[in-house]
Amino acid sequence: MNVTNILFTFVVLILIGVVIRYVITKNKNAVVEQEIDVDDKTYTIEKMIQFVKKRLDEITKVNLYDIGLSEEELKRRKAKKYELKKALKGCTYGDVNDKKYVKELIYDLLYKEYGVTEVNISKSIPFDVPSLLTSQDKFDILLYMYKKDFGYEALTQLIKKYNLATLKYVAGEAKPCYVITKEEIDEIYEKENLVLSFQDKLNVLVQRIYQHYKGYSSIDEIRDMNIDGVSGRSIRTSRKFLKSSCTNRWRLFKSNYRA
């Protein structure tokens, strides 16, 4: 009887050992970081926005007490998480510094985690085929490149250089008005003949994602410029850029820019 008991205990212990070993091996091999499934739509702007939203949610909502950090590290991580949360909140109110911080984070997420490269970036915005670029793409690229050189004076410089603040007659309008047309943007883009590095392309893409996710859509970059203001109207026919008569700056008046 005793021998049977000992044998039985021995078998049970071996079984427990095997189970524990199996669980440990399984956990070791478990892939925590899910690989991103690459298909035709992976590198579209919509998918990237979804990814950025999900990742920022994960970062800001993680329970730091579950990770098992040291006291010192926990303090730092809490401070960093708070800083990010503050920036995510602040950027929705148009704070340019918070916007810059959030954009840097999106840049890192896309470059380091999502695997955006020189090759696949063109699936989101066709940088290499100018004929496929929309007028908004072209305007975003132009504004980004001008911003690199002139900072917040980029829009003013662009308007000055191409003398865009002139009265024009537009089809369907009886009176002449101040307007920047699609054709003008296309023409300027062609004249500028810009050469974009991968960083430039990714920055343009990051701005596009940001403006849909946290920013002010298509006017997001324009409203940061040194201008008197941006005004939007729902009546589509009255989208105009008007020059301020009393200052040297430019004012977006009664406009709801759509490139």
Partner 1 sequence: MAIISFWSGTKGETGKTASITAIATFLAVQHNYKILILDTKYNDYSYQDCYWQEDKTISLIHKQDAKTNIASGITGLSKAILSNKTSPEIVTNYTRVVFSENRLEVLYDTDVPKEDYDTYKKVFKDIAKIASRYYDLVFVDIDSNLDKHTIDSLLEVSDIIVPNLSQKIRQINNYIAEKQNNVILQKKLIVPLLGRYDKNSKYTIKNVSRYMKEREKICAIPYNTLFFEACNEGTVDDFFIRFIKINPKDKNAFFIEQVKNAAERIIYKIQELRMRM
Binding window for partner 1 (CB under 8 A); candidates: 45-53, 64-72, 148-156, 217-225: 64-72
CB of 57 to partner 1, least distance (A): 10
Does 58 engage in binding with partner 1 (CB under 8 A)?
yes
Residues 215 and 91: beta-carbon distance below 8 Å: yes
Does 87 engage in binding with partner 1 (CB under 8 A)?
yes
Interface with partner 1: number of residues (CB under 8 A): 29
Does 16 engage in binding with partner 1 (CB under 8 A)?
no
- Chain-centre distance of CA 217, in angstroms? 11
> CB-wise, 53 or 161, nearer to partner 1?
53
Does 62 engage in binding with partner 1 (CB under 8 A)?
yes
Place of tokens 């946290």: 214
> CB-wise, 104 or 187, nearer to partner 1?
104
Binding mask 176-205 vs partner 1 (x if CB under 8 A, - otherwise)?
-----------------------x------
Q: Which of residues 91-110 bind partner 1 (CB under 8 A)?
A: 97-98, 100-101, 104-105, 108
Does 35 engage in binding with partner 1 (CB under 8 A)?
no
Task: By CB under 8 A, name the one of 46, 83, 118, 190 that touches partner 1.
Answer: 83
CB of 138 to partner 1, least distance (A): 25
CB of 203 to partner 1, least distance (A): 12
**Residues lying near partner 1 in the complex (CB under 8 A):** 27-28, 30, 32-33, 58-59, 62, 67-69, 72-73, 76-77, 79-81, 83-84, 87, 97-98, 100-101, 104-105, 108, 199
